[in-house]
Chains A and B, each alone.
Chain A
């Protein structure tokens, strides 16, 4: 049944992560047609110029650079530490926060400005109804 098939598909961790029927998942920005500001997630008006309803969906790049980071050693109870909280600027526009993985959580190893790529994986936790979630991570790009 279609329902069963649908139930097996992971849900997106945030609404700007798109999971097409066919092809690769991707991140989608909303670009203001008046001032070109790029936002994550749907919205009614632009917070840069105030224009209303003037957005177009824009597929965001998988490549970007590390803007800044912090190595988090204490988080909310039950969350595995340490991990790297990173702010990444994507090529062609869009900035997002996420976990930087596949690199040691060591300031000596992490370089601000380093090339980063966005990858997609199933999140380690499920929601109360047992649904799986697809999430994004950052990793160094070689």
Chain B
């Protein structure tokens, strides 16, 4: 089976674009990615499009109606917050299968100022929210974080430090929604949403789009490898049965399984990574994933953030883009935007936030319900 390469990749600056439609935002990212690859829509043999909130509305086809109706097969994916990574992986799978040499993958979302995102209300009767606990995302991820507190004594302050770090990182990312430093007291004293997550420890609901051109090894050799990035691993898992999963979504087990598979596929270990973009939908979540991805041993995540090991310049920089906490979290776009961030560092094109000499990077997303997508990317040149 052919290796798969990212030939072109880009994202729009995340923000709020109420005067644009979802296909228009997706089209902007698609054109940026095509330009980055030096190719045209006529060169693409298939399109894999990811969008969550308009999952029934043929977003991929509507993007082609904006940039070129070439009649290629279009597949629309929805997989909660793993939607973008899933679309990317569908493209990867098709090239692996030998069906195509060049495909376009797009992730796009328009959230606007959406309020709290919560689980479904369920069938009939009266609302269960606030009666049988909370199904809002801040509370669900607060409870997931409290499990870490229960096991290892992780503190509110340690969770808050994740937000301090990621907001600090975003100052150097021109494509981030926010670029404002938030000192520890500011994070901890911000409005409490669901203890221990304050408002500044929740990801930002924004509009955004990201896209990539993927190609086979044959095509990469033909078109030039100078800026190509090799997809060393692409993995998707769902939540296996665990004791409390149906009541308290378990984001750990599916991540651990995906990580193990991804490291095996790439033939590397977590110690070989130069940077990581992981799913910091809430500050509590980032702490869990340090251990889930093997960036430290179980129980050491609190120490990792205390010692600044995951900050830019630390042993293993995490979310140097600013993460979902500051760059923003346009659900369907997030998984490809993370791959853009890693690819940009591997190409040595990340400007003042460049992680020097980066050769290997990992992206991770979680779609609650649950899906985990992990990609490992490797510099070619």
**Chain A: residues with CB nearer than 8 A to chain B?**
11, 13-14, 37, 39-40, 47-48, 67-76, 79-81, 83, 85-87, 89, 95-99, 107, 112-113, 123-127, 133, 135-136
Contact = CB atoms under 8 A, between A and B. Distances in A.
Contacts of B66: none
7 contacts: A13-B125, A13-B131, A14-B132, A72-B136, A73-B192, A85-B143, A107-B196
Of the listed residues B118, B124, B156, B194, the one surrounded by the most CB atoms of chain A closer than 10 A to its CB is: B194
B303 to A, nearest CB: 21
Contacts of B133: 85-87, 97-99
Q: Chain B interface mostly helix, strand, loop or mixed?
A: loop
Of the listed residues B125, B128, B136, the one surrounded by the most CB atoms of chain A closer than 10 A to its CB is: B125
Contacts of B81: none
A95 B355 CA distance: 44
A75 B118 CA distance: 9
B318 to A, nearest CB: 24
Interface of B: 115-116, 118, 124-134, 136, 138-139, 142-144, 146-147, 149-150, 156, 191-197, 241, 243-244, 246-248
B86 to A, nearest CB: 22
Of the listed residues A48, A71, A127, the one surrounded by the most CB atoms of chain B closer than 10 A to its CB is: A71
A57 B115 CA distance: 39
Given A13-B126, A73-B191, A99 B132 contact: yes
A68 B243 contact: no
A70 B244 contact: no
B243 A125 contact: no
B194 A74 contact: yes
B327 to A, nearest CB: 22
Contact of A70 (B118, B195, B243): B195
Contact of A69 (B146, B156, B244): B146
A71 B136 CA distance: 12
A48 B128 CA distance: 26
Contacts of B149: 68, 112
Given A74-B138, A87-B248, A67 B195 contact: no
B189 to A, nearest CB: 13
Given A67-B150, A73-B193, A125-B126, 12 more contacts: A13-B125, A39-B246, A68-B147, A70-B139, A70-B195, A72-B139, A73-B191, A74-B193, A74-B194, A85-B133, A99-B132, A124-B131
A39 B116 CA distance: 28
B341 to A, nearest CB: 30
B203 to A, nearest CB: 15
A97 B146 CA distance: 14
Nearest to B245: A47
Given A40-B246, A107-B195, A48 B241 contact: yes
Of the listed residues B134, B194, B244, B248, the one surrounded by the most CB atoms of chain A closer than 10 A to its CB is: B134
A112 B130 contact: no
A80 B130 CA distance: 7
B195 A73 contact: yes
Contacts of A99: 130-133
A72 B196 CA distance: 9
Given A68-B147, A73-B194, A95-B243, A79 B125 contact: no
Nearest to A135: B131
Contacts of B194: 70-74, 85
Contact of A126 (B126, B128, B146, B243): B126
Contacts of A74: 116, 136, 138, 191-194
Contacts of A95: 243-244, 247-248
B247 A135 contact: no
Contacts of B142: 70
B143 A70 contact: yes
A69 B196 CA distance: 10
Contacts of A14: 125, 128, 132
Contacts of B130: 72, 75-76, 79-81, 83, 99
A73 B190 CA distance: 12
A28 B335 CA distance: 40
Given A70-B142, A71-B194, A76 B116 contact: yes
A75 B146 contact: no
